[in-house]
Amino acid sequence: MRVLILWLLVVGAWAEPPGRVIDYSPAESGLYIGSPSIVILQSGDYMASHDFFGPKSGEHELATSVVFASSDRGENWRKVATLNGLFWAGLFVHRDAVYIMGTDKHHGRIVIRRSKDNGRTWTEAKDGTSGLLTSRAEYHTAPTPVIEHDGRLWRAFEDASGGTKWGMRYLAMVLSAAVDSDLLDAKSWTFSETVTRNPEWLDGRFNAWLEGNAVVTPEKQIVNILRVDVTGCPEKAAILAVSTDGKKQAFDAERDIVDFPDGAKKFTIRYDAESQAYWTLATAVPKEFQSAAKPASIRNTLVLMRSKNLRDWEIRATLLQHADVKAHGFQYPDWQFDGPDIIAAVRTAYDDAKGGAHNAHDANYLTFHRFAGFRTLR
């Protein structure tokens, strides 16, 4: 395979995507790569996951996710598990185990599964004591952070029971559980109230909010920061304040909608104590690519962003970019701090030997990246 790739590069037929390829699924398979997630295990090994969506995926009946591991800092990856009944799921490490949390299908029930052997075997979410957290379906999420604060774990979700139209149906919510509780027991989790978006916000340009991040503010309050679907730039994010008991959310549309260069696509926000700043990898839309198309559909540029207060964001560096916006995308990055570096798993739409990705959204690769010395990148 390596010889073939080198030959194709020489003749100019196509080029490999940037980074290291974790997984590949050609467009003709009808299986597109979604929901990247990555963690660093206590052993120092890396673990990554993604799901499959698309016409051949069965995402609406019984979704499938796959888990990969690397023992050489991301240079090489091996598949360690296939998990049926898992979609939009994110990995996180807690105590002596690694967990993965999402839904069992597209707009499915909330599930959580656990592995104590570095991802080779996983619990099954069969009932309310083994990881099935809701009895009804109609939930939505993405691989966004699970964070620990004030003795609890926090994770954002959306209730998708607010209608039938994409995005508009999503009601913002947050789940939380005591850090020492049994995370597979549904009774351990507190569900916040849900908040409905108002289509009149932003002068009628506020189409939806989704894929929230649980984040601790500089004032030590939990907030839920959501992607906002808008019809044009600048892109936006919405910030909901969460009560200390995890049951209430507060939102002021005049104050709590902020400019956010990646706000129309999924993002992951994490806090770095050394720089005393919040960081994210963002699928931004530079001016030269802004057009009549909605910013959510422009995914060809990945940037590094920083904020001191979660409301004012600066682009620090452009990390990945391709001139074509129709069939190339660097999107849904999930990432972790690794000393002076950021490591990331990216849903990547790029050239291949079979004609490339179906489109920029329907990715054919999961790629791994290391962004060295991220604090000093400009």
> pLDDT tens, 73-94?
999 999 999 999 999 999 999 9
SS3 74: coil
Residue numbers of the domain that contains 291: 270-360+371-378
Hey, what are 311's tokens?
A: 């409301």
Question: What local confidence, expressed as pLDDT, does residue 2 receive?
Answer: 43
> pLDDT tens, 157-189?
999 999 999 989 999 999 999 999 999 999 999
**288: in domain:** yes
Half-sphere exposure of 378 (CA within 13 A, CB side): 1
Residue with token string 């508009």 = 168
**17: in domain:** no
**160: in domain:** no
**312: in domain:** yes
**348: in domain:** yes
**338: in domain:** yes
Quickly state the pLDDT bin for 293 (edges 50, 70, 90): confident
Quickly state the pLDDT bin for 14 (edges 50, 70, 90): low
**How much of the chain exceeds pLDDT 90, in percent?**
94
Query: How far apart are alpha carbons 74 and 344 in whole angstroms?
Result: 10
* Furthest-apart CA atoms within the chain: distance in Å: 61
**pLDDT at residue 1 above 60?**
no
**289: in domain:** yes
Total number of domains constituting the chain: 1
List C-alpha distances in Å: 66 to 18, 52, 78, 141, 348. Answer: 21, 8, 11, 17, 16
Quickly state the pLDDT bin for 10 (edges 50, 70, 90): very low
DSSP-derived secondary structure for 113-173: EEESSTTSS-----STTTTB--SS--EE--S---EEETTEEEEEEEE--S-SSTTTT-EEE
Average the pLDDT over 244-256 and give the result.
98
Give the chain's count of helices (H) and strands (E): 2, 26
Q: Does residue 234 have a cis bond before it (omega within 30 degrees)?
A: yes
> pLDDT tens, 121-162?
999 999 999 999 999 999 999 999 999 999 999 999 999 999
**377: in domain:** yes
331 closest CA partner among 376, 282, 289: 282
